[in-house]
């Protein structure tokens, strides 16, 4: 393979990979510089010598490559004759009979002089450098857009992840843990997600997407609500149980703009587009306020609170409600109170305002013959003083909010369920 063929084939390959001309030339120069070091980097005595007296001239567009070696002519008996940038007069005259001591010899080195194996190695090295550069470019490209929404086409559905192809044909991954539980994917369909993180694994970039991140919900609001995109409305915080429920606290610095109304849209037009994207996730949009008591009331919506006691030191809030509001505050599976606690960054305990006003419910104390007193007290500590208030929460939520073991919680739930069978 001659120089022009090698350079032209490399240039075509680099252009297919969208590598710019200066970078292309730099790669060519690096590879040929390494070839020079391997062939000319040792002198006759086996010592390492510099190769800075070689010039590489590349014109990638025309496929031209020239390599020139420059050496100063010295007397045959000179002590400098062994230096890398010197040549004896006798050797110089073999190149050009008219040369004299002190002149400079410019000798062109041809690709064939390096040997077929070296040229083949150089070709492989050129292609590999482009592939490595392509990986670096891909890594940097996605690193810059972490947290942004992109679209991809599904091309393979695996048990642990869904593999997508972006607009440029790059492979990106949506792991099982970053998928909404209700999501179902088919090959060829287009889905949206945010770039969650970008990792370099064994030299290969791994682009990981997410549809469960709160940031995904924020970006959807930016796309659907112009006031959010323009910065007139600020999203203060987002908490969500993907595919089930979310709470979004918003604030406007312009008194003329109703942030909740703007996010919901006329007849819910804006919020409905987001809900559909998130597999009918129920989204509560609330007005953010620095007034913590009011913020907690809004966070527990749609329940109406009678009174609140805030313990900032321990990060706990006790809220008192009428009996018919308790189930609304807790929500299905404890989801409403769980999200409200995360939104205000405090643990919320719910208490009935009037225990005697409970309808068709049973006080926990009535089960003292089957449930130990300390277990009942632990449940009362977080505001659960009746059977139905406990049954409104699932095992996971009860274990999280109390100091009870999972086995104890399941025993309590079984005892209480029998009461209403």
pLDDT given for residue 41 in this prediction: 82
Mean pLDDT of 205-231: 95
* Structural domain count, the chain: 3
Residues 108 and 193 in one domain: no
pLDDT of residue 332: 86
Residues forming a β-bridge with 153: 165, 190
Pair 283, 248: CB distance under 8 Å: yes
3-state secondary structure of 209: strand
On whether residue 361 sits in a domain, the answer given is no
> For 362-410, what is each residue's pLDDT tens digit?
888 888 888 998 999 989 888 888 888 888 888 988 988 888 999 999 9
Residues 16 and 37 in one domain: yes
Nearest to 255 by CA among 228, 282, 233, 280: 233
Assess if residue 188 is contained within a domain.
Answer: yes
Picking from 115, 140, 165, the residue at the C-terminal end of a domain is: 140
Residues 130 and 19 in one domain: yes
Residues 222 and 193 in one domain: no
In the listed set 253, 273, 288, which residue is the last one of a domain according to the structure?
Answer: 288
E-assigned strand segments in 253-360: 282-287, 305-311, 316-321, 347-352
Provide the pLDDT for residue 333: 84
Q: In angstroms, rounded to a whole number, what is the distance separating the alpha carbons of residues 90 and 94?
A: 7
Residue 45 has pLDDT above 80, yes or no: no
Q: What's the CATH number where 122 sits?
A: 3.30.1480
Taking alpha carbons only, the member of 135, 122, 134, 129 closest to residue 7 is 122
Q: Give the confidence band of 77 by pLDDT, cuts at 50, 70, 90.
A: confident
User: Do 123 and 164 sit in the same domain of this protein?
Assistant: no
Handedness of CA 177, 139, 135, 154 (dihedral sign): positive
pLDDT digits (tens, 9 = 90+) for 171-197: 999 999 999 998 999 999 999 999 999
Note whether residue 131 is domain-resident. yes
**Residue 418 half-sphere exposure, CB side, CA atoms within 13 Å?**
7
In this structure, is the dihedral angle defined by the CA atoms of residues 144, 149, 151 and 155, taken in order, positive or negative? positive
Q: Are residues 10 and 135 in the same domain?
A: yes
pLDDT value of position 342: 95
Banded pLDDT at 285 (limits 50, 70, 90)? very high
Cα 88 to Cα 71: distance, rounded to the nearest angstrom: 9
Choose the final residue of a domain: 86, 114, 140: 140
Share the mean pLDDT of the chain: 88
**Residues facing 237 on adjacent strands:** 249
Burial class (CB in 10 A: 0-12, 13-18, 19+), 111: buried
The pLDDT assigned to 358 comes to 47
Residue 118 lies in a domain: yes
Could you tell me the pLDDT band of residue 357, with boundaries at 50, 70 and 90? very low
**Is 60 exceeded by the pLDDT of residue 356?**
no
Provide the domain limits for residue 226: 213-288
Q: Looking at residue 115, what is its pLDDT?
A: 81
pTM score, two decimals? 0.68
129/36 same-domain check: yes
**Residues 281 and 217 occupy one common structural domain:** yes
Q: What is the pLDDT of residues 126-154, one digit of tens each?
A: 888 888 888 888 999 999 999 999 999 99
Task: Say if residue 410 is exposed, middle or buried (CB neighbours under 10 Å; 0-12, 13-18, 19+).
Answer: middle
Co-location of 131 and 43 in the same domain: yes
d(CA 26, CA 28): 5
Asked whether residue 359 carries a pLDDT value surpassing 60, the answer given is no
Mean pLDDT, range 43-66, rounded to an integer = 77
For residue 309, tell me if it sits in a domain.
Answer: no
CA distances 317 to 105, 291, 313, 381, 418, Å, are 88, 14, 10, 12, 31
Q: So what's the pLDDT on residue 122?
A: 83
For residues 125 and 22, state if they share a domain: yes
Phi–psi pair at 400, nearest 5 degrees: -65, -40
DSSP string, 219-278: HHHHHH-HHHHTTSEEEEEEEEETTTEEEEEEEESSTT--HHHHHH-GGGHHHHHHHHHT
CATH number at residue 241: 3.30.300.20
Half-sphere exposure of 350 (CA within 13 A, CB side): 31
Residue 299 forms part of a structural domain = no
For the stretch 221-272, pLDDT in tens is: 999 999 999 999 999 999 999 999 999 999 998 888 999 999 999 888 999 9
Q: Say if residue 151 is in the same domain as residue 182.
A: yes
Question: Which residues are registered as beta bridge partners of 71?
Answer: 105
C-beta pairs of 355-362 under 8 Å, 24+ apart in sequence: 355/385, 355/386, 357/322, 357/323, 358/323, 358/386, 358/388, 359/323, 361/323, 361/386, 361/387, 361/388, 361/389, 362/386, 362/387, 362/388, 362/419
The answer to whether 54 and 38 are in contact (CB under 8 A) is no
Encode pLDDT of 7-38 as tens digits. 777 777 777 777 777 888 888 888 888 888 88
Would you say residue 262 lies in a domain? Answer: yes
Residue 320 lies in a domain: no
Given a cut of 70, is residue 73 above it in pLDDT?
Answer: yes
Same domain, 119 and 8: yes
Cα–Cα distance measured from residue 49 to residue 43, given in angstroms and rounded to the nearest whole number: 7
């Amino acid at each position: 393979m001659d120089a022009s063929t090698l350079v032209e084939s490399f240039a075509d390959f680099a252009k297919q990979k969208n590598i710019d001309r200066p970078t292309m030339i730099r790669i060519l120069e690096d590879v040929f510089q390494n070839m020079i070091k391997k062939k000319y980097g040792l002198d006759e005595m086996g010592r390492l010598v510099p190769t800075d007296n070689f010039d590489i001239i590349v014109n990638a567009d025309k496929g031209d490559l020239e390599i020139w070696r420059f050496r100063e002519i010295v007397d045959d008996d000179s002590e400098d004759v062994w230096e890398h940038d010197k040549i004896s007069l006798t050797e110089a005259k073999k190149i050009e009979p008219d040369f004299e001591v002190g002149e400079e010899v410019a000798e062109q080195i041809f690709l064939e002089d390096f040997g077929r194996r070296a040229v083949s190695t150089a070709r492989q090295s050129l292609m590999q450098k482009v592939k490595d550069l392509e990986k670096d470019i891909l890594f940097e490209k996605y690193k810059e857009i972490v947290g942004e929404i992109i679209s991809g086409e599904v091309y393979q559905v695996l048990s642990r992840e869904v593999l997508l192809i972006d607009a440029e044909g790059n492979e990106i991954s949506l792991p099982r843990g970053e998928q909404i539980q209700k999501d179902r994917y088919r090959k060829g369909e287009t889905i949206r997600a945010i770039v969650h993180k970008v990792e370099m694994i064994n030299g290969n970039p791994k682009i990981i997407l997410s549809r469960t991140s709160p940031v995904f919900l924020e970006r959807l609001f930016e796309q659907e609500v112009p006031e959010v995109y323009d910065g007139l409305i600020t999203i203060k915080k987002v908490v969500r149980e993907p595919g089930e429920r979310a709470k979004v606290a918003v604030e406007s610095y312009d008194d003329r703009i109703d942030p909740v109304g703007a996010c919901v849209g006329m007849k819910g037009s804006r919020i409905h587009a987001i809900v559909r994207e998130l597999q009918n996730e129920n989204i509560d949009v609330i007005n953010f306020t620095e007034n913590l008591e009011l913020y907690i009331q809004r966070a527990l919506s749609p329940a109406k609170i009678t009174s609140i006691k805030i313990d900032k030191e321990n990060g706990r809030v006790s809220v008192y409600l009428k009996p018919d509001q308790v189930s609304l505050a807790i929500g299905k599976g404890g989801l409403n109170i769980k999200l409200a606690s995360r939104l205000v960054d405090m643990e919320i305990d719910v208490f009935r305002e009037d225990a005697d006003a409970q309808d068709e419910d049973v006080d926990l104390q009535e089960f003292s013959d089957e449930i130990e007193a300390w277990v009942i007290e632990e449940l009362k500590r977080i505001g659960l003083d009746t059977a139905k208030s406990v049954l409104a929460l699932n095992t996971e939520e009860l274990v999280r909010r109390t100091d009870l073991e999972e086995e104890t919680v399941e025993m309590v739930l079984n005892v209480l369920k029998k009461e209403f069978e």
